[in-house]
């Protein structure tokens, strides 16, 4: 059954995003169509208070929390140079008890096809990860992105090309490979990771793309490598949006690097071959109401089967309600599907977002 799902999803990918986002403000902080040249300083941020209710055996665990609480500044330094600075204040992210730097980088805008960024930012990998946190269609990112695209944020230098008006967009970065926090030292060996992503708009409504990463994630280990690749598509037909991805990962894995974007805690995958995928559809009934559905799977170890907890599926049902451009309500029901032993672990989550 798992093989059938994977084959179906690969067919969808190749029979059928566009933005290479580094941070969490607008589409692309390094885009030549943004603040460069305005000489203005922009303060931005958002708050995401959330309530979770878990349908577990025994006591029904539930809690209020801040999913994210972020504030940042961006602007121009001099002519073709810009800066981007963002803090995370929520104690629920990355096991941090204090406010900490999430994104901070300087960009040289040499050309629309050569924007060079140096600092800490999202790895250029995956459509789901490139989507700013405030613009996610569902409360949770895809499981496969939280688990296999780690660290989601890292220190490095990258070159970015294209913008939302171009058919082709690309990004290539050389990064430490150990993430932005939770693990010290920040660079844990003498090797570097190579990460890249490219997308191409085939038609006015369909964009396809791919991502690749090769690196050495382990402490004081320049031999144990890791290879990750993915494929993606985004189809936007009037009020309907459909997107999906497939990601495959094999080799060494550093759980301590963490995610860096407020998602699920990474599980131990060192030495394993893992993969996963998702497909998501959202329909904007009007400017305020948008129902959404997502199906996804994640396989921790493709070489084994019939072991509880190794393979998981999830269906997400929910809706987004936009009071205006700054205020949004999201309600999601997560139906977790076990293929070996059934477990009562479904969840409902409600989140209010205020963006400024």
**183-199 exposure pattern, b = at least 16 Cβ within 10 A, e = fewer:** beeeebbebbbebbbbb
The region of weakest confidence among 61-65, 153-157, 183-187, 254-258 is: 183-187
Domain membership of residue 283 (yes or no) is: no
The answer to whether 230 and 210 have CB atoms below 8 angstroms apart is: yes
Domain membership of residue 259 (yes or no) is: yes
Identify the pLDDT of residue 97.
62
DSSP string for 120-132: EEE-S--HHHHS-
Identify the pLDDT of residue 180.
80
Sequence-distant (6+) residues with CB within 8 A of 4 are: none
More confident site: 183 or 125: 125
DSSP type of residue 233: E
Domain membership of residue 149 (yes or no) is: yes
- Residue from 326, 343, 318 nearest 48 by CA: 326
At residue 222, does pLDDT exceed 50? yes
Identify the pLDDT of residue 91.
75
Q: What is the mean pLDDT of residues 133-143?
A: 95
Query: 53 phi and psi, to 5 degrees?
Result: -130, 125
Identify the pLDDT of residue 33.
39
Domain membership of residue 201 (yes or no) is: yes
CA 196 from chain centre, in angstroms, equals 14
Q: 3-class DSSP state for residue 345? A: strand
More confident site: 22 or 262: 22
Domain membership of residue 312 (yes or no) is: no
**pLDDT tier at 181, thresholds 50, 70, 90:** low
Distance CA 91, CA 301 (A): 32
DSSP type of residue 142: P
Domain membership of residue 122 (yes or no) is: yes
Dihedral sign, CA of 263, 205, 3, 303?
negative
Percent of the chain's residues with pLDDT above 70: 84
Sequence-distant (6+) residues with CB within 8 A of 303 are: 272, 273
258 is in which domain, residue-wise? 2-266
Domain membership of residue 28 (yes or no) is: yes
Distance CA 79, CA 75 (A): 11
DSSP type of residue 267: P
pTM tops 0.75, yes or no? yes
Instruction: Show the tokens assigned to 175.
Output: 């990064």
By CB atoms closer than 10 A (0-12, 13-18, 19+), residue 215 is buried
Q: What is the mean pLDDT of residues 38-59?
A: 85
Angle at CA 16, nearest 5°, toward 131 and 2?
85
Domain count of the fold of the chain = 1
The answer to whether 72 and 89 have CB atoms below 8 angstroms apart is: no
**pLDDT tier at 25, thresholds 50, 70, 90:** low
**Virtual CA dihedral for 273, 207, 194, 118, nearest 10 degrees?**
-140
Chain mean pLDDT for the chain:
86
Beta bridge partners of 242: 235, 281
The answer to whether 120 and 100 have CB atoms below 8 angstroms apart is: no
At residue 24, does pLDDT exceed 80? no
Identify the pLDDT of residue 19.
37
Identify the pLDDT of residue 208.
98
At residue 270, does pLDDT exceed 80? yes
Q: What is the CATH number of the domain that holds 106?
A: 2.40.160.10
Domain membership of residue 200 (yes or no) is: yes
At residue 14, does pLDDT exceed 60? no
Q: What is the mean pLDDT of residues 24-37?
A: 46
Identify the pLDDT of residue 242.
98
């Amino acid at each position: 059954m798992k093989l059938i799902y994977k084959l179906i999803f690969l067919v969808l990918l190749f029979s059928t995003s566009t933005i290479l986002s580094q941070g969490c403000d607008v589409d692309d902080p390094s885009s030549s169509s943004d603040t460069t040249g305005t000489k203005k300083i922009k303060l931005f941020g958002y708050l995401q208070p959330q309530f979770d209710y878990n349908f577990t055996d025994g006591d029904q665990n539930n809690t209020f929390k801040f999913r994210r609480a972020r504030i940042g500044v961006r602007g121009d330094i001099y002519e073709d140079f810009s800066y981007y600075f963002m803090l995370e204040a929520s104690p629920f992210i990355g096991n941090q008890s204090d406010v900490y730097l999430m994104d901070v980088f300087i960009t040289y805008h040499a050309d629309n096809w050569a924007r060079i960024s140096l600092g800490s930012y999202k790895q250029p990998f995956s459509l789901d990860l490139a989507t700013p946190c405030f613009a996610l269609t569902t409360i949770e990112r895809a499981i496969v992105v939280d688990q296999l695209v780690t660290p989601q944020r890292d220190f490095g230098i990258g070159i970015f090309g294209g913008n939302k008006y171009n058919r082709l967009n690309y990004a290539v970065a050389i990064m430490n490979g150990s993430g932005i926090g939770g693990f010290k030292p920040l660079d844990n060996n003498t090797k570097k990771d190579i990460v890249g992503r490219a997308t191409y708009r085939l038609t006015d409504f369909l964009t396809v793309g791919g991502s690749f990463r090769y690196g050495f994630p382990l402490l004081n280990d320049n031999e144990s490598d890791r290879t990750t690749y993915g494929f993606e598509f985004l189809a936007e037909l009037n009020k309907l949006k459909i997107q999906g991805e497939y990601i495959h990962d094999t080799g060494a894995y550093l759980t301590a690097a963490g995610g860096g974007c407020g998602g699920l805690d990474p599980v131990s995958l060192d030495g394993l071959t893992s993969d996963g995928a998702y497909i998501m559809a959202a329909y904007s009934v009007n400017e305020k109401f948008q129902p959404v559905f997502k199906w996804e799977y994640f396989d921790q170890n493709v070489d084994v089967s019939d072991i509880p907890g190794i393979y998981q599926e999830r269906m997400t049902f929910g809706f987004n309600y936009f009071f205006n451009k700054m205020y949004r309500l999201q309600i999601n029901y997560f139906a977790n599907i076990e293929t070996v032993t059934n477990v009562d672990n479904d969840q409902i989550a409600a989140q209010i977002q205020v963006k400024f």
